Amino acid sequence: MLSAFALFAGVAIIGGWLVLTKDWRDSARFSAKPAFIRKTRIEAGRGSLPERMRFDVEGYYFRIAYAYQVEGQTYLGKRFSAMREPFFLSEADAEAFAALYPEESAITIRVDPENPARTLVERQLIFADKLPLYAGLAALALGALTF
């Protein structure tokens, strides 16, 4: 009974992880393009820092808007990451991060060649984003070992 449950749980967890990471996986085929930072701002809000085991806490988001061109057409992008937007517990940390992206500066973004309106600045998967995959693999291994 444990083996069937563990196998089912492993498949369900990995399936859920694949759904949640679809944008991140898709972004592997995005091409690099130059962009120009139009505006950045720090915005107070509630968020999570799973890598620090902090969930639903007050903090600060970094927001960005950038302009870029594809085949002569200008687009405006606002997405920073495929998985999560930058979130900080202190305003000072958010401002230090924002200093890495000064307004009116050039950056390189990633653009979906099939949908140029779909972009991101950073393609990053942190350890906490991988935990469901590891849990699913562990459940599959447990199910296989007890089968």
DSSP secondary structure letters along 82-142:
SS---EESSHHHHHHHHTTS-TT-EEEEEEETTEEEEEESB----HHHHHHHHHHHHHHHH
pTM value > 0.85? no
pLDDT tens-digit profile of 99-140? Answer: 999 999 999 999 999 999 999 999 887 777 888 888 889 888
> What's residue 23's pLDDT?
87
Residues in the chain, pLDDT under 70: 2, 51-52
